[in-house]
Amino acid sequence: MKLAAATLLSLGFLTAPAALADPIRDVAAVNAIVEQRCAMCHMEEDDAAPALGTVKKLEPAAIADMLISGSMSALTPDLTPQMKREVAVFLSGKPLPASGDLPEVTLK
């Protein structure tokens, strides 16, 4: 009985976060990723890379796709998909709906 209760409790604990929106947990960390990992290439508009100001006008899903499966994914192999989604929400200033197992990302 005790075990069953503990199992239910831990299952609840594990599944609850997926159902809830996931606000960006550490804005400073996401900002640091952008400054240290994106800004040097996206500093200003040039033939190769659009400026960050241009990237910020994209829909968050477009930025997330670029980071998760597009050409920016090779530059960010160490970031989890959810971190990339947080970067996309941070840059675009718009929330991202849940996708598969990944919870919604909100700004606050």
30-39 long-range Cβ contacts below 8 angstroms, 24+ apart: 30/83, 30/86, 30/87, 30/90, 31/90, 33/79, 33/83, 33/87, 34/87, 34/90, 34/91, 37/75, 37/76, 38/87
**Hey, which residues between 58 and 87 contact ligand HEC (CB under 6 A)?**
58, 63, 66-67, 71-72, 75-76, 87
Examine residue 42 and tell whether it contacts ligand HEC (CB under 6 A).
Answer: yes
Interacting residue with ligand HEC among 49, 61, 98, 107 (CB under 6 A):
49
Q: Which stretch binds ligand HEC (CB under 6 A): 13-21, 23-31, 38-46, 98-106?
A: 38-46
Give me 53's structure tokens: 């100001």
Examine residue 48 and tell whether it contacts ligand HEC (CB under 6 A).
Answer: yes
Interacting residue with ligand HEC among 21, 23, 50, 98 (CB under 6 A):
50
**Crossing angle (nearest 10°) for helices 60-68 and 81-92:** 150
- Which residues form the interface with ligand HEC (CB under 6 A)? 33, 37-38, 41-42, 48-50, 55, 58, 63, 66-67, 71-72, 75-76, 87
